[in-house]
Amino acid sequence: TLESLLARRGTLPWQRARRIAAEIGAALSAAHALGLLHRDIKPSNVFLARSDTGENAVLLDFGLVKPMDETAVSRMTQSGLVAGTPLYMSPEQARGESLDVRSDVYALAVVTYEMIAGVPPFFDKTVAEVYARLLREAAPRLSGVAPGACPEALSRVLERALSLAREERPENVTAFVQELEAVSD
């Protein structure tokens, strides 16, 4: 998995991270085209398949997938708990609000950030601290966390995709991936 690779290596060169993010993005775009939100994008749900032609990222674990037409209802489970992984969820997910594709964009941006920085934007001692920061703070700029690891333009792309306000994020995963791919080496 991407999680085990990151545990071994710590970080990835941003060009490799961009390629993996684009492949995850393609899977998400296909799910979104079918009217489905993944809702649990994280490194442990990305398998890196190796073949004679190279490496491909495969998005796994569609256990929390929800049809988009049902997302007007809160993300809370019947027991009243928010479903998902706090380190990778968007602010609106953490609040139990309705979701759209920009929540998956946010999670993909978190995974991309982690591949380059070695940690997600909000990495704290407790889940409560993660939630508190996620709901009130802008994500730390990647260029400040991992200076020299990527071009400043990539830091700006991730800053937009990790916006607290979903209206400020790219409108869909395809737009986010296009922004990533537009960053020059």
Q: Which amino acid is at 128?
A: A
Q: Which of 165, 157, 169, 164 is nearest to 17 (CA)?
A: 157
CA distance from start to end of the chain: 26
> Residue type for 81, please?
L
Rounded to an integer, what distance in angstroms lies between the CA atom of residue 118 and that of residue 149?
11
Which among 176, 132, 141 has a CA at the least distance from the CA of 159?
141
Burial 41-75 (b: 16+ CB within 10 A, else e): bbbebbebeeeeeeeebebeeeebebebeebeeeb
Q: Which of 40, 61, 100, 104 is catalytic?
A: 40
* 40 belongs to the catalytic site: yes
Active-site residues, by number, are: 40
